[in-house]
Structure 1
């Protein structure tokens, strides 16, 4: 009964998020362009609702991270009560993830970019290193996922 309610609730949330995303994408794609005199770079077309799309992506990212952290903490607490050894294993995964973020931040470049028409305050070393950190982390996680997809069947067949 509880599983059915969880499935229904998660399905409704997924459909709501997908509906809002499709609506925002339609507004972004069909909403027209910023007038030439208001554009950052007058020669490049600029969709009118770019900010709305970016804020929606930021909101989805923030919600995802908060839910991920909440589930990780609740899983750690519940497994700590039942099996303290496995709780430390789940904590080890979090520590490896934090170590990956620190390493990718350290190898990121802080060299300011030459961006035509940009006069904002985010083209500074700290923001550039954070951006590189996320990009390198994404690349690394994609590679790890592909390797896991390729080699996990081999590992399972080797145990038999």
Structure 2
């Protein structure tokens, strides 16, 4: 167990160092020449690093959950309930999403299409819903302490 903790700690510091380096490069690395907007030179590198981190996190999460279900089959019901709740939150966010193209002056890019707008809306609404639930849970926990 001590070896796993050591590996996790070293990995965390390496990822933290890489994140700081990529962030500093993005902030002070200059901007792309000839671009109408100030786009940092290293923005793509930072975004790709972020995608790798999110993908690795999801992969590890899925592997550990599969391992947990295999080693503790009695807890599979809890995992199924959590998946249904996540699917319900995403479903509600999808119903709230709007794919109407935006009228952006001077924007000629390819991302102002219904599919991208809906995807963005779903992400934002999922964030809003989860933030609201988190805030309500914190408030409930703090207020319920006073009545015990």
Hey, what does 1:105 align to over in structure 2?
94
2-structure distance, mates of 1:120, 1:76 = 44
Structure 2 alignment gaps of length 5 or more: none
4+ residue segments displaced more than 6 Å = none
Hey, what does 1:10 align to over in structure 2?
8
TM-score by length of 2: 0.87
Q: CA RMSD in A?
A: 2.1
How many matched pairs? 148
Q: Is the 8 A contact 1:28 1:47 kept in 2?
A: yes
2-structure distance, mates of 1:131, 1:24 = 24
2-structure distance, mates of 1:11, 1:76 = 26
Q: Is the 8 A contact 1:28 1:48 kept in 2?
A: yes
Q: Is the 8 A contact 1:76 1:91 kept in 2?
A: no
Residue aligned with 1:33, SS:
coil
Hey, what does 2:53 align to over in structure 1?
60
Verify: 1:88 aligned to 2:81, yes or no: no
- Pairs within 5 Å for 1:1-160: 2=1, 4-35=2-33, 37=34, 39=35, 42=36, 44-80=37-73, 83=74, 86-152=75-141
Structure 1 residue 117 displacement after superposition: 4.3
TM-score by length of 1: 0.81
Structure 1 alignment gaps of length 5 or more: none
